[in-house]
Structure 1
Amino acid sequence: MLVAALWVSGWLAFQFPGPAWVRYGVVGAWALFAVGTAVAVGRARAGRWPGPVFVTVLVVTGVWWLLVAPRQDRVWADDVAQRLKVVAFDGNHVVLDNVRNFTWRSEDDHDVRWERRAYDLDQLRSADLILSYWMGPTIAHTLVSFGFADDRYLVFSLEIRKERGESFSALGGFFRKFEMTLVASEETDIVRVRSNVRGEDVYLYRLQGMTREQLKGLFVSYLGEARKLDAAPAFYNTLTSNCTTIVYELARQIAPGLPLDYRLLVSGYFAEYARDLGVLTPGVPFATLKARGRITERARAAGDAPDFSRQIRRGVPGIEQGIEP
C-alpha cells in the first residue's frame, strides 16, 4: 500500500493539471486519505483489502498512465527545439540535419544555429566518453564525442526535451514528465555550455580497444536512435531511458556481453565502469585518468577559440595514440 500510495502521489504531483498549489493540495489530500486507509487496514484483521476508494484511485491512475502519450508538438526550449534527422546514409556517408551549433553567452543569451552536416564514416578515428557533473559526485550527464580525421568532432547526447521555461527533475523523469531527444552537436556548443556557462565540472576519457568497425557500429547505433525518435516521440525515464543507459544499450549492440552494473544508474561512476570493462587507456591508474581527464579549466581558458577541441584534450591519456586498430 505504501509503494502504491507513493506512486500515485508522484503521478499527481507531476501530471495533475492546474497551478502548483492545486497539484500540491490534491497530493496532500490523497496522502491523508492513503495514510488513513493504511491505518484502518492495519487495525483490521490480517489480509484485509484496502477500501474500495483506494483501489479505485489506483485503477484510475493506472489507466491515466497508459493514456498519457509523448508528443512532438510542444513549445520547446531553444536548445531542443529541433529533432535530429538522418537525411541520407549509404553505409559510409551520412548527412544529418539539425546539428546544433549554438554560441552561448549565458543560459538566456545565445545564437541559435541548427545546421546540416555531412560525415564520412571511413574518416572516423576516435570516440571519447564525456561526463559532466551538475549535481554532486554521484550524478553526471553522459555524452559521447566522435572524432574524424579532419579534426572535426560530433557529440551525441540523449536529453530531456524541455518545454520552454521547464527545468529538469529527476523525480519527474519517473512519471512521464518529459519527452526525450537525441542531440548531435559541436563540442564548442554542447561541451562549452556545460563547462563555461552552466558551471558544471567536465571530464573526458579516450575510449580504447575498439576496431574501426566497432567504432563505426557505435556511431551507426546513434543514427538508429535518431531515426526512432524522429519517427515517434518517447518518454525519458530517470531509471530506464536516460543519458547513461542509452550509451549502454547502444554499446551492447556491438558487444552483447556487456554486464549490467549499478553504475549505469549512479552515472557519476560510469567512468569506473568503463575502466573495469577495459575500454579506457590501459596502463594508467584511474586516479591519473580522472585528474588529467578533467577538462573544466582548459575549456574555460579556451573560451570560444577555434581550436577548442584540441585545447581541451591536451594531456588527456590516450589521445596521442588515437584509435588506429
Structure 2
Amino acid sequence: MSKVTQKVRHLPMRLVIGIAVLLLTAWGALALWHQMPQHPAARWIATLAWSASGLSVAVSLAGLLERRTRRIAGFVFGAATAALLMWWGTLQPSHQRPWADDVAQLLEAGIDGSHVHLKNVRNFEWRSETDYTPQWENRTYDLDRLRSADLVLSYWMGPHIAHTLVSFGFDGGERVVFSLEIRKERHESFSAIGGFFRQFEQILVAADERDIVRTRSNARGEDVYLYRLQMSQANVRALFLEYLHAANELRRTPRFYNTLTSNCTTIVFELARLIAPALPADYRLLLSGHFAEYIHDLHGLTPGHRYAELQALGHINERALASDASGDDFSMSIRQGVPGVPADEVSP
C-alpha cells in the first residue's frame, strides 16, 4: 500500500481527532479566561500558551509539520491537558468570598410546627441598580395561611432568556419570593459564558416583592411577567418546603452555578418534579424565556386563556411604575387584571 493511500485512509481519523483537539482547546481557553479575571497579565499568558499548544497539534494533524515536531507538539499538549484538568479539579465552591451586597447573606430556614422562620430575607430599597439601601430581615410565616404561588419571568436579554422566580402568597397579603441566582463577588458582573466555567457560586435568595421584582421592573427596566400557578394547596405547600430544604442544603454545601444545568429555571423544574415526578423534560427548560409557555401546555396556568392572552395580561411593568407614582401597594398593583388572581388580592 502506497504512502499516499495510507494518508488518505487516515484522514477521517485525523479529522475527528483534530476537531476534538480544537474543541478541547476552546474549552480550556474559556476556562482559563473566566477563572483569572483578577490577574490580567497571567490570564493572557496562560490563555495564549494553552491555545498555541492546542493549535500546534491541530496543525500537525493536518500534516503541515515534520514527524518529530508533531511528536513534540503532541507531548506538550498532552502535558498541558493533564495540568489543566488537575487545576480544574482543584476549583471548589466556597461561602467565603468578598460578596456583592445583594448576595452577601445566605438564607437560613427553620420550621416549628406550621411556622417557618426565615433568616436573611432581603428587603432592599432600590432607587436604581447601583443606588440602594441594604436591609436583611428575619421573618416568620404560617404555613396554614399559605394560599398561592405565582410564576414570575423577567426578560433581560431577548425573548428566549428570562430569570425565573416563584412568589408565594399568604392570607393577609404577606408574600415572599424565591430566586436562585449567581453569587457574584464585588468586582464581578454576570456572564452567561462564565456560568459554564465555575466563575460563580449559586445562592437561593428569599426576598420581598418590592425588592426582587420591583428592582427588575422599575430599577433595571426589564420586561416582567406574572402568572398565577394552578396548584393544589398541598402542592403549593410542598413546593414552598422544597425551597426551604434547598436553601438549607445550599447553606451547608456551597455549589457552583451552571448556566445550563443548575440555574434559576432548572431549580424550579427539579423542585416541581419532586412533587410530580412525571413532568416531562423539554427544550423550554433551556430556553427559559419560554418556561411559562411550557407550564401552560402542562395546564399549570389559569385555564380558559390562550398563552398569548395570559402573557399580555401578565405584563406588570406599566402597573409597577404607576405604583411608584401613586404610592399604591406594589403587590396588589402588579396583579391587577392577571387571570386567576381573586379580587381580594388586588384591592385593600
Query: Could you state the TM-score of these two structures normalised by the residue count of structure 1?
Result: 0.93
- Displacement of 1:322: 9.3
1:20 partner letter: P
Of residues 275, 290, 307, the one that matches 1:254 is 275
CA distance in 1, matches of 2:219, 2:225: 16
Of residues 30, 41, 44, the one that matches 1:24 is 44
Structure 1: gaps spanning 5 or more residues: none
CA distance in 2, matches of 1:198, 1:64: 37
Q: Does the CA-based 8 Å contact 1:125-1:322 persist in structure 2?
A: no
CA distance in 1, matches of 2:287, 2:24: 25
Matches within 5 A, 1:87-102: 88-102=110-124
2:148 partner letter: S
CA distance in 2, matches of 1:321, 1:256: 33
Of residues 280, 289, 300, the one that matches 2:310 is 289
- Displacement of 1:259: 0.8
Q: Over aligned residues, Cα RMSD in angstroms?
A: 2.0
Shift of the 17–197 alpha-carbon distance from structure 1 to 2, 3 Å rule, reads closer
Q: Does the CA-based 8 Å contact 2:160-2:289 persist in structure 1?
A: yes
1:156 partner letter: F
2:28 partner letter: V
Q: Hey, which of these two has a bigger chunk of helix by percent?
A: 2
Calculate percent identity across the aligned residue pairs. Answer: 56
Q: Which residue of 2 is the match for residue 7 of structure 1?
A: 27
2:138 partner SS: strand
Q: Which residue of 2 is the match for residue 314 of structure 1?
A: 336
Q: Does the CA-based 8 Å contact 1:158-1:246 persist in structure 2?
A: yes
Q: Does the CA-based 8 Å contact 2:123-2:134 persist in structure 1?
A: yes
- Displacement of 1:64: 1.3
Q: Which residue of 2 is the match for residue 65 of structure 1?
A: 88
Is 1:299 the counterpart of 2:320 in the alignment? yes
Q: Which residue of 2 is the match for residue 111 of structure 1?
A: 133
Matches within 5 A, 1:204-219: 204-208=226-230, 210-219=231-240
Q: Which residue of 2 is the match for residue 184 of structure 1?
A: 206
Number of residue pairs aligned between Structure 1 and Structure 2 = 319
1:265 partner letter: L
2:258 partner SS: coil
Q: Does the CA-based 8 Å contact 2:123-2:207 persist in structure 1?
A: yes
Q: Show CA shifts across 1:282-315 (max 9, x none).
A: 1101110000000011111112835100000000
Q: Which residue of 2 is the match for residue 132 of structure 1?
A: 154
The more displaced of 61-70 and 282-291 is 61-70
Of residues 51, 61, 69, the one that matches 2:74 is 51
Is 1:36 the counterpart of 2:56 in the alignment? yes
Q: Does the CA-based 8 Å contact 2:53-2:76 persist in structure 1?
A: no
CA distance in 2, matches of 1:201, 1:85: 30
Shift of the 295–18 alpha-carbon distance from structure 1 to 2, 3 Å rule, reads closer
Q: Show CA shifts across 1:251-272 (max 9, x none).
A: 1110011111111111011111
1:36 partner letter: S
Is 1:75 the counterpart of 2:75 in the alignment? no
Larger Rg: 2
Query: Could you state the TM-score of these two structures normalised by the residue count of structure 2?
Result: 0.87
Q: Show CA shifts across 1:64-112 (max 9, x none).
A: 11111111111111100000011x2035211000000110111222111
1:27 partner letter: T
Q: Which residue of 1 is the match for residue 299 of structure 2?
A: 278
